[in-house]
Amino acid sequence: MNIAVTIPRIVCERLALDSMQWCAWNTDDPLCRSCADHPAAAVQRFLSIHVEGELDFELFCEGDLAGNGQTSNRMRWAPPDLFLECGECRGSGRYTGLIASELCRACEGHGVIRILY
């Protein structure tokens, strides 16, 4: 039995190769999808319909949704906004240097970066 805590895995893919439509779904329930004309919009729509409150999840998206060149990202849904876990501080909001620990400059100490599109 797998007792590890698993976080939801959300996939976002283009509807078809030549399509401008993107669809998002949870890998636990692949038939339940939300689509939009931007990957972040599809994910946002999916979460706003299917998730109550905040959610941490792993996003797999072939589009560069977060603008960081990664196809897999740890994300947070805090309605109505989507956030990317900060890659510089790994979500801690702090940067630990040789002498002192200071606020992470990439996310200004928030640990997450809001997705704008």
- The residue ranges that bind Zn ion (CB under 5 A) are 86, 88-89, 104, 106-107
Task: Kindly state the tokens that stand for 86.
Answer: 């900060």
Kindly tell me which of 11 and 65 has the beta carbon lying closer to Zn ion.
65
CA dihedral 71, 77, 81, 82 (to 10 degrees): -10
* Closest separation in Å from C-beta 28 to Zn ion: 29
Kindly tell me which of 60 and 95 has the beta carbon lying closer to Zn ion.
95
* Closest separation in Å from C-beta 76 to Zn ion: 13
Kindly tell me which of 13 and 88 has the beta carbon lying closer to Zn ion.
88
Question: Distance between terminal CA atoms of the chain?
Answer: 40
